[in-house]
Amino acid sequence: MRREPARTLSDHLPVIFPALMLLVFFVIPFGIMIAVSFFQREQGGFYTPDFVLSNYARFLSSFFGGVLSFSLLLAMAVAVCCVVLAFPFTYFLTCRTRRVQIAWLVGLLSVLSLSEVIIGFAWSTLFSRTAGISNLFVALGLMEQPTALLPGFGAVLTGMVYQALPYTILVLYPALVRLEPTLLEASRTLGASPLRGFFDIVIPALRNTIVATLIMVFVFALGSYLLPQILGRPQHWTLSVLITDQAIYQSNMPFAAAMAVFLVLISLALVGLTLLVGGRKDLTA
């Protein structure tokens, strides 16, 4: 279907309101942040308008470089874990009856209603030495004595995967439901075992969906701020934690802004790269 180009003011009206909202609440604040990132910080005070690159220069130290790469790696690890776990799960979910599917989806939606704080403290209890799951393993005879499983990278990763998994499933679900079931059947009649057909046909047919989901979870995990602090050691803190620290506790707004701008640029670049490697423009398929 082709649409006529909008001509009169009333044709444009439906777009004006969202455009204004976007301008006022995203473009302008983001512009201010970019401007502030070039400002001069005043010791003990706030900042004065200027144009200096020192905020960015400071950022290129090995410490901040390390934190940035850790944040990116953590977000990637969360994205990959989520998709690897969620894809087969969602696939088998779509093979169930409608009633079972709805029960699962409602359950997943209710997980989304938990706040990050609750998720963080719930996992910190589960991973603790005194009340955690290691006690269960001891009871089952799998472990010698209860141990604390946190703080640590595994704990951070688990918490973040737990938080992002419902989103991942809900994003994958529509595409998997619409997947032609005869595709897998066709591969079976051609001699592929169900497992082989899954890897040969189902996954490649949904490549665009998988790439889009990876990007979504990656971006979602990149902004994580609370869970790394609750479940991890300081070396597991993400850039978001440092930005907050600089902005609020060190009142170094220009440096915090520079880090935020840099984080946005890096993640945009990574998303672009993924799309390039993914090879297709059409992500909605």
Partner 1 sequence: MSGLTLEAVSKQFGDLTAVDDVTLSVPHGTFVCLLGPSGCGKTTLLRMIAGLEDPSGGRLVLDNSDITAVPTHKRDFGMVFQSLALFPHLSVGENIAYALRIRGTPKADQAKRVEELLELVHLPGHADRPVSKLSGGQRQRVAIARALAVSPRLFLLDEPLSALDAKLREAMQVELRQLQQKLGITTIVVTHDQREAMTMADLVVVMGEGRIRQAAPPVEIYRKPADSFVADFIGSTNLLEIARDGSGGAIFAGKAIPGLALPSGLDRARLSIRPEDVQLTAPGNGSLTGRVTFLRDLGGTVETFIKVAGTTLTAVSTPRERPDVTAGDDIGVALPAEACVVLKE
Q: Which spans of this chain sit near partner 1 (rule: CB under 8 A)? A: 180, 182-183, 185-194, 196, 200-201, 204-205, 207
Length reported for the chain: 285
Q: Which is nearer to partner 1, 83 or 256 (CB)?
A: 83
Least separation in angstroms between CB 193 and partner 1: 5
Q: Which is nearer to partner 1, 28 or 186 (CB)?
A: 186
- In angstroms, give the least distance from the CB of 187 to partner 1: 7
Rg of the chain in Å (alpha carbons): 23
Question: Is the CB of 48 or the CB of 193 nearer to partner 1?
Answer: 193
Q: Tally the C-alpha atoms within 13 A of residue 207's C-alpha that lie toward its C-beta.
A: 14
Helix ranges (DSSP H) in the chain: 9-22, 28-36, 54-59, 62-95, 98-112, 116-126, 133-139, 153-178, 181-189, 194-197, 203-205, 207-222, 227-231, 239-244, 253-278
Residue 191 Cβ vs partner 1, minimum distance, rounded to whole Å: 5
Q: How far apart are CA 26 and CA 125, in angstroms?
A: 38
Which residue, 125 or 193, is less far from partner 1 as judged by CB?
193
- Residue 116 near residue 220 (C-beta atoms within 8 A): no
Query: Whole-angstrom Cα distance, residue 37 to residue 31?
Result: 10
For partner 1, which is the closer residue by CB, 32 or 190?
190
CB of 134: closest distance to partner 1 in angstroms?
A: 43
Q: Whole-number minimum distance, CB 101 to partner 1, in Å? A: 18
Structure tokens at 215: 């990007």
Least gap, CB of 186 to partner 1 (angstroms): 4
Closest Cα partner for 206 from 93, 101, 285, 96?
285
Question: Distance (Å, rounded) from C-alpha 283 to C-alpha 211?
Answer: 8
- Measured CA to CA, the distance from residue 119 to residue 116 in angstroms comes to 5
* Residues in contact with 7: Cβ distance below 8 Å, sequence separation at least 6, in sequence order: none
Least separation in angstroms between CB 189 and partner 1 = 4
Residue closer to partner 1 by CB (options 40, 193) is: 193
Residue (49 or 204) nearer to partner 1, CB = 204
